[in-house]
Amino acid sequence: MSEPPLLTRNELDIAFREGATDDQIEAVLRNLIFWSYIVRNPFGKVCALGRGTRADCILNAFRLADDHAIDCFSVLEDPQDEARALNGAWRLVLWPPKFDPDPPFWAASSNVFDDWSNEIKRE
């Protein structure tokens, strides 16, 4: 399988923007071929993102989140922030490859959808 495309500056800017929603990030990050993911730390901030196979996304998400926790949470001074960092929920959002709502012309011209639609009509 080929390598996933590198993340663009625009994708990174949107993903790490303060207050960016999962839907906004999904709109720019999802790919037609590769799985995509983000990880949010207990404070709700995106701390990792990427693309790849499903297994690679999960592995990389946990590795990057672990690195983030070591780098960022070891310097917390507020006891409430420290408690939240240690006990709060981390959130992995994993998106499958995006279905192309407008498949290439060859799919329509090769009658691949005719067989499928005939199956549905029979049922």
pLDDT-based confidence at residue 117 (cuts at 50, 70, 90): very low
Which tokens in the block code for residue 6? 């590198």
Convert the pLDDT of each residue in 3-56 to its tens digit.
999 999 999 999 999 999 999 999 999 999 999 999 999 999 999 999 999 999
Collapsing DSSP states into helix, strand and coil, what is residue 82? helix
Amino acid at 27: A
Residue bearing tokens 């029979």: 122
Looking at 26-30, 81-85, 92-96, which range is the least confident one? 81-85
Residue bearing tokens 């672990």: 66
Q: What percent of the chain has pLDDT over 90?
A: 63
Q: What is the mean pLDDT of residues 95-100?
A: 84
Handedness of CA 105, 107, 112, 113 (dihedral sign): negative
Highest mean pLDDT among 18-27, 63-72, 79-88, 101-110: 18-27
pLDDT-based confidence at residue 104 (cuts at 50, 70, 90): low
Q: What is the mean pLDDT of residues 78-107?
A: 82
Residue 65 has pLDDT above 70, yes or no: yes
